[in-house]
Chains A and B, each alone.
Chain A
Amino acid sequence: MKKKKKIGSGIFMGLIVLFLYAPILYTIVFSFNEGKSLTKFTGFSLKWYSKMFANNTMMEALFYTIACAVLATAISTVVGTITAIGLSKSRKVLKNIVEQVNELPIMNPEIVTAIGLLMLFSAIHIEKGFFTMLLAHIMFCVPYVILSVMPKLRTLNPNLAEAAMDLGATPFKALTKVIVPQCMPGIISGALIAFTMSFDDFVISYFVTGNGVSNISILVYTESRRVNPSINALSTLIVLIITVSLVLVNIIPQLVARKNGKSAGVENI
């Protein structure tokens, strides 16, 4: 009876994995297809990759996506961390107000945030393009950074920064040498969330860009109307980038922990 149950759940989980991964695998396989068809595999070739690298709009979209994600992550991580630290020392009223406002982009459907920004940018006459996309990305990334830094700050001992300043540290030094290092895990996970949010964003970018600037999502969306196997090549490239960075993100902390573990061991002796 138990064995039967185990086989049943095994089959079920296998089907779920098949459901989640088959499309990704399908894309990868068909990126190497020789023909133009998305349904018949006629032979192995790398021509869609060379076509992709020769395609200016695709390379530009890739560049804009990465540039926007890097800039938005850097800026929103700094702004979010600074704000979170400020909030942890602020009065409750102010804290509540900022937290409520931050909920808006998280809770609202993306399309609502997107049209709001579209109207804002046209009201203050900023031309739609890379700059507006970056501003929008910073806008929806900061709340996530604040959300992931705040819990770390709550567990912090407030006396430590106090003590540092009593011992002659300037407030800036107390901030960079005491508070920030202690909430580093929260800052890093906030930055990671910000990066993937920005890298994957479609709806908001789609509404606030224009003038020939597009990111990967917008490109896939507009190109999906016609058959273009270069998209499969681009998708495979993205899958590769994401997988490699996920592996790195998972491995680096382990290596650091091992190193720290060793040095901590030395200190103990």
Chain B
Amino acid sequence: MKQFRKMVYPYLIWSTVMIAVPMLLILLYAFTSEGNTVTRFLFSLKNFKRFLTDKTFLDVLLRSLRIAVETTVICVLLGYPTAYVIAKYTEKVKMRWVLIITLPTWINMLVRTYAWTGILQEDGVINSILGAFGIRPVAFMYTDFAVILGMVYNFLPFMVIQIYTSLTKMDYSLIEAASDLGANPRKCFTKVTLPLSMPGVISGITLVFLPSVSSFCIPRMLGGGSYVMVGTIIESQFLTAGDWNFGSAISLIMAIIIMISMYITRKVDKGEKMEGATQS
């Protein structure tokens, strides 16, 4: 069977060039400051210093994190009940609902986000409905609300599917056992169902938080040209300002923040499990 081993080599070369080298380039550019054509390696922390000492950039970072956290929380609050209801349906209905939830994600994200621009306009559908109740038009577009709405809309299905998967994998005899032992439905949920579905919630959080913190097309389309998030700064550094060193440094900082938050989420999940183990 050794003759098949050679089949890996072409991809080994390809992935080195196309995946590993670009990541190294980001590192190289982030730690140098010589413009877009790096000819010699001069180690410098200038880019990081610029980011961490400028209050406007730090504000943008904090705002991106806040928007991403809010998006994630709303996705959990909407996604959990949805997944829970679907998991209770019969087998056939379940499959239909999974299709209903996932179908929109197959349609281009830009197209679906663009649709909201019409709905949220000042003379749009939502404001006409509000107007019917005598409420004056609200400016939805170009606000935090519009951006968070766009993100929740795009990423909610990921959350639902992750939680749904962990709920269906659950052993239902455990709930029966709990209620036989005298737990009321509420206790059954908080002590059995919720802890057992936590892995799904955690992977759902990962799938929602990561794209929302780094997104730049949703803030641009629904937040307007002057709405700044980390993703839009990186974009402008590369495509308009042309400062690749600084742009690389920002993306490195963002990647590190994402890694740390993923690590913390996983740790919290594990910590909870340990607690559960000691309690029993």
**Residue ranges of A at the interface with B (Cβ–Cβ < 8 Å):** 9, 12-13, 16-17, 19-24, 26-27, 30, 38-40, 79, 82-83, 85-90, 94, 98, 101-102, 104-105, 108-113, 115-120, 122-123, 135, 138-139, 142, 158, 161-162, 171, 175, 196, 199-200, 202-203, 206-207, 216-217, 220-221, 224, 231, 234-235, 238-239, 242-243, 246
Contact = CB atoms under 8 A, between A and B. Distances in A.
B118 A39 contact: yes
Contacts of B214: 109-112
Contacts of A139: 14, 18-19
A171 B3 contact: yes
Contact of A203 (B8, B85, B216, B251): B216
B50 interface: no
A89 B26 contact: no
Contacts of B111: 27, 216, 220, 234-235, 238-239
B6 to A, nearest CB: 7
Contact of A23 (B5, B8, B25, B119): B119
Nearest to B28: A119
Contact of A86 (B7, B23, B114, B157): B7
A86 B2 CA distance: 9
Given A20-B100, A196-B106, 19 more contacts: A12-B81, A19-B153, A39-B125, A79-B11, A89-B5, A102-B19, A110-B211, A111-B231, A112-B26, A158-B1, A161-B1, A171-B4, A200-B108, A202-B110, A203-B216, A217-B108, A220-B111, A224-B117, A242-B106
A89 B115 contact: no
Contacts of B100: 17, 20
A116 B8 contact: no
B25 to A, nearest CB: 4
B163 to A, nearest CB: 13
B104 interface: yes
B78 interface: yes
Contacts of A196: 106
A195 to B, nearest CB: 10
B181 interface: no
A-B pairs with lowest CB-CB distance, top 9: A116-B22, A86-B7, A109-B214, A23-B115, A86-B8, A38-B118, A83-B11, A220-B110, A139-B18
Q: Chain B CB within 10 Å — which of A23, A38, A39, A83 has the most? A: A23
B70 interface: no
A39 B126 CA distance: 10
Nearest to A97: B12
Given A202-B217, A239-B107, A109 B210 contact: yes
Nearest to A104: B19
Nearest to A19: B153
28 contacts: A12-B85, A19-B153, A19-B156, A23-B112, A27-B114, A30-B118, A39-B124, A86-B5, A87-B8, A89-B4, A89-B5, A90-B8, A98-B15, A102-B15, A108-B23, A112-B255, A115-B238, A116-B25, A119-B248, A120-B18, A120-B22, A142-B11, A161-B1, A171-B3, A175-B4, A216-B111, A217-B108, A220-B111
Given A202-B110, A231-B114, A109 B125 contact: no
Interface string B61-86: 00000000000000000100110010
B51 interface: no
B247 interface: yes
A216 B110 CA distance: 9
Which of the four size classes fits the interface of chain B? 35 or more
Contacts of B124: 38-39
B272 interface: no
Contacts of A162: 1
Contacts of A117: 18, 22
A101 B19 contact: yes
Contacts of A17: 100
A115 B18 contact: no
B103 interface: yes
Given A30-B118, A220-B110, A235-B115, A98 B104 contact: no
A101 B15 contact: yes
B34 interface: no
Contacts of A82: 7, 10-11
Contact of B22 (A83, A109, A113, A235): A113
A115 B251 contact: yes
Interface in B94-111: 97, 100-101, 103-104, 106-111
A161 B2 CA distance: 12
B59 interface: no
A243 B29 CA distance: 43
